[in-house]
Structure 1
C-alpha cells in the first residue's frame, strides 16, 4: 500500500490538481526513490539532470532544477561551465537557452 505525504509537496502544489497520479509518481518514485539512491550523490544527480535538460532543450524544467542543483552543492560557476561545455555537444541554441534561463533565475550571479 502506498503512503502519501501528509503535507503538500511541490509536485502536488504545482500540478497535483491536474495530474494527481503524475504528482504522486513524482513524489514517491522520482524524488522518494530514484533521487534517494546512494549510488550517486544528489549533487551528481543534479549535474546529470541539468545536463540532460540542457541537451534536450527543456528550459522550462530548468526553473526547478537549476535552483535545486545549487541547493545540492553545484555552484553557479559549475552550472555556467556545464552550459559552455554542452554548447559543443548538445548544440549552441540549447546552451544559449540555458544561459538565458540561468540569467532569469540568478540575476545577482552576473552583475
Structure 2
C-alpha cells in the first residue's frame, strides 16, 4: 500500500503548509469569482470576520475547489444546486456568474435549474430561475462582450464567499 495519491488532493498535499493551502485556495477563488470580488471581500473583513474569510479560502477553495476529481464546470453545477436547495439566493447569483466564468453556458445553467425543480422543489427552482434571469439581464444590459460582461457581472455581486 503506497498511501494517499497526491494527484487527487489538489493543494492539500502531504507536507503542504497552511500557507500553501491558503495560497492555492486564494488563486482558485480569484479565478472563479474574480480578483475584484475577492479584493472587495477582503476589504470588508474585520477582526470579527477575518477567521471566517481565512476558513473559506483554506477549506472551501484550497481544500475542495483545487482538487482535480471534478471539473470546475461540475463543481459549479453542484454548487448551484446546493444554493437552490438551501435557498441562498445571493450566493446563487454569485455562483451563476462564477459558473459562466468556469465555462458553463446559459443553456447548461437552465438545465441545472430544471433539474433542481425535481430534486429541490418547484418553488425553489422558480426563485432560482428569477435569480438567473436577473443576473443575465444585468449582464445583457451592461453592453459588453461576453467575457467583459461576465467579469463585470461577477464584480457586482456583494457576497463575501
TM-score, normalising length: structure 2: 0.59
Max Rg structure: 2
Deviation at 1:63, TM superposition (A): 2.4
Q: What residue is the counterpart of 1:81 in the other structure?
A: 111
Structure 1: 5+ residue runs without aligned partners?
none
Residues 9, 27 of structure 1: 8 Å contact kept: no
* 1:72 counterpart = 2:102: yes
Residues 32-52 of structure 1 show CA distances to partners (whole Å, capped at 9, x for unaligned) of: 221000111111111111011
- Which consecutive aligned stretches of 4+ in structure 1 deviate over 4 angstroms post-superposition? none
Superposed CA RMSD:
2.5
Name structure 2 gaps, 5 residues minimum: 1-16, 24-34, 142-161
- Whether 1:32 and 2:95 are equivalent positions in the alignment is no
Output the CA distance in 1 between the equivalents of 2:77 and 2:124. Answer: 16
TM-score by length of 1: 0.83
- The CA deviation string for residues 53-76 of structure 1, in whole angstroms up to 9 with x for no partner, is 112221121122111111111111
Distance in 2 (alpha carbons) for counterparts of 1:29 and 1:86: 26
CA distance in 2, matches of 1:49, 1:67: 12
Aligned length: 108
Give the distance between the partners of 1:42 and 1:27, measured in 2 at CA: 16
